[in-house]
Amino acid sequence: MSFFNDFFSWSKKERLGVIVLSSFVFLLFFSDIFFNRIYPFKDYSIHPDTLVIYRHLLEELEADLSLISDKSKPNKENSMDRSLIKKDKKLHMFDPNKLDEDGWVTLGFSKKQSQAIVNYREMLGGFMSKEDLHASFVVDDEKFKELEPYIKIRIIDKPIDSRKEEGNEQKYKMETKEEVLFIELNSTDSIALLKLFGIGPFYAGKIIAYRNQLGGYFSIDQLVEIWNFDTIKLNNIAEQIWVDTNLMRSLRINSDSVQVLYKHPYIAWNQAKAIINYREQHGRYESVSTLLEIVIIDDSLLTKLYPYISLK
C-alpha cells in the first residue's frame, strides 16, 4: 500500500511520465514479437520446392533448344522422318466441303492447320470453288498446286421455282416486288436500313457504328456480334441484305501502329502489342499464317481476322 500511496503522492507530471515510459516499453516488447512472426528475419535461401520447379523449367527449355537445333541440321534421321510423312500422306479425290479435321490431316496438314481450314469454311458457308480454298491463309501456292488435281467440289444448284412453271404470274410478281429491297451493308446509310423489318433507329445506328469499327462487314453473320442482335432478327432480313467485300478497310500488319490495330473489335490491347513486337523482332510479315507463331493468337482469332489483314 505504501507504493500506491507514494505513487499517488507524486505530482501529476511525474505520474504521466511513468505511464508514458511504461507504455513505450510495452510497445517495444510486443512489436518485436509481432515483427518476428510476421516478417521473420531469415536468410534468403530458395525453398527446395522452388528449386525443383526451376530445374524442370530449365530442362524443358534445354529440350526445346535442342529440338530446334536438331531440326535446323539436315541429317539422315530428319530425312527419314520426312520420307515417312510423305508415304503416310495419301492424296485422293476429295470434296473440301465434306472433309472433317482428320480428313485434312491425311492430306498433310497439321491438326492446327486443319482446324483453321474447317473454321474458314464455316465462316464462308462452304467452298464454292477451288480458289476459295486457295484463299485460305493455310493453303499456300505450293500446297494448292499439289492438291488442285484432286479437288472435286459438288455445288447443289437452287431448285427452280415451281410457281413460274405453274404460271401463277400474279403471285410471282407480288413476291418479286418484295425482293426489290436489297441493301449492301458496307455502303448503305442508316436511313435505308430503317426499311428493313424489325430495324429501328437504334439498330440502324448500331449496324453503321459496328461497320466502322470493323472496317466493313465480311459476312452478314457478323451482325449477331452486335449487342442484343440475335439470329431471329438476322433471319428476318437475311434475304434483303448482302456485303461487298471490296469495300472493306484492311489492317496493314506491316505498317499500322498499335493504336490502329487495337481499335479493331477483334484485337485486344495485348494482342496488338504482340503483333507489333513480333514485327520489330523478326521484320515484315511475309505470310498471314505467321501470326500463329504469336502465343496469344490462335487459329480461331486468325480466321476471324483473315479477311481484314493486308501484308502491304
- Read off the pLDDT band of 32 (50, 70, 90): low
Q: What is the pLDDT of residue 54?
A: 59
In the chain, what are the domain boundaries? 2-38, 48-81, 91-150, 168-247, 251-310
8 A C-beta contact, residue 107 and residue 94: yes
CA distance linking residue 258 with residue 275, whole number of Å: 8
pLDDT of residue 20 exceeding 70: yes
pLDDT given at position 109? 85
Greater pLDDT, 220 or 1: 220
pTM beyond 0.85, yes or no: no
Q: What is d(CA 233, CA 293) in angstroms, rounded to the nearest whole number?
A: 38
Report how far residue 224's alpha carbon sits from residue 220's, in angstroms, rounded to the nearest whole number: 8
- Predicted pLDDT at 233: 92
The per-residue pLDDT for 265 is 95
Contact 135, 123 (CB under 8 A): no
| 164 in Cβ contact with 175 (< 8 Å) | no
Taking domain 251-310, whether its CATH number is 1.10.3720.10 is answered by no
- How far the first Cα of the chain sits from its last, in Å, is 98
pLDDT value, residue 307: 93
Q: Which three cell numbers stand for residue 30?
A: 510486443
User: What pLDDT sits at residue 132?
Assistant: 80
Question: Would you state the pLDDT for residue 6?
Answer: 58
Q: CATH number for 168-247: choose from 1.10.443.10, 1.10.150.320, 1.10.3720.10, 2.40.50.140.
A: 1.10.150.320
Q: 76 vs 79, 209, 306, CA distance in Å?
A: 5, 58, 38
Q: Say which residue, 217 or 138, is predicted with more confidence.
A: 217
Q: In the numeric block, which cell numbers belong to residue 121?
A: 469454311
pLDDT band at 150 (very low <50, low <70, confident <90, very high): confident
Q: For residue 170, is pLDDT > 70?
A: no
pLDDT tens per residue across span 233-264: 999 999 999 999 999 999 999 999 999 999 99
Query: Can you spell out the DSSP letters for the chain?
Result: -HHHHHHHTS-HHHHHHHHHHHHHHHHHHHHHHHHHHHS-----PPPHHHHHHHHHHHHHHHHHHHHHHHHHS--HHHHHHHHHHHHH-----B-TTT--HHHHHHTT--HHHHHHHHHHHHHHTS--SHHHHHTSTTS-HHHHHHHGGGB---PPPPPP-HHHHTT-HHHHHHHHHHTT--EETTT--HHHHTTSTT--HHHHHHHHHHHHHHTS-S-GGGGGGSTT--HHHHHHHGGGEE--GGGPPPEETTT--HHHHHTSTT--HHHHHHHHHHHHHH-S-S-GGGGGGSTT--HHHHHHHGGGEE--
Classify strands 251-252 and 241-242 as parallel, antiparallel or unpaired. Answer: unpaired
Q: What is the pLDDT of residue 30?
A: 65
Average pLDDT over residues 186-212: 93
Percent of the residues in the chain that have a pLDDT greater than 90, as a whole number = 40
Look at 101 and 281; give whichever has higher pLDDT: 281
Residue with cell 457478323: 222
Predicted confidence (pLDDT) at residue 305 exceeds the cutoff of 80: yes
Q: What is the pLDDT of residue 29?
A: 66
Reply yes or no on whether the pLDDT at 231 is more than 60.
yes
Q: Region 35-64: what's the mean pLDDT?
A: 57
Question: CA-to-CA distance for 238 and 125, rounded, in angstroms?
Answer: 14
Q: What percent of the chain has pLDDT over 70?
A: 67
- Whether the pLDDT of residue 216 is over 90: the answer is yes
| Residue 141 binned pLDDT confidence (cut-offs 50, 70, 90) | confident
Contacts of 187 (CB under 8 A, 6+ apart): 244, 247
Rounded to an integer, what distance in angstroms lies between the CA atom of residue 184 and that of residue 189?
10
> Which of 222 and 126 is assigned the larger pLDDT?
222
The Cα–Cα gap between 61 and 64 comes to 5
Mean pLDDT of 205-210: 95
Report whether pLDDT(112) > 90. Answer: no
Look up residue 306 and give its amino acid: Y
277 pLDDT higher than 70: yes
User: Is residue 161 within 8 Å of 137, Cβ to Cβ?
Assistant: no
Picking from 98, 104, 116, the residue whose alpha carbon sits closest to that of residue 152 is 98
Q: How far apart are CA 265 and CA 227, in angstroms?
A: 13
Angle (CA) 133 136 138, round 5°: 115
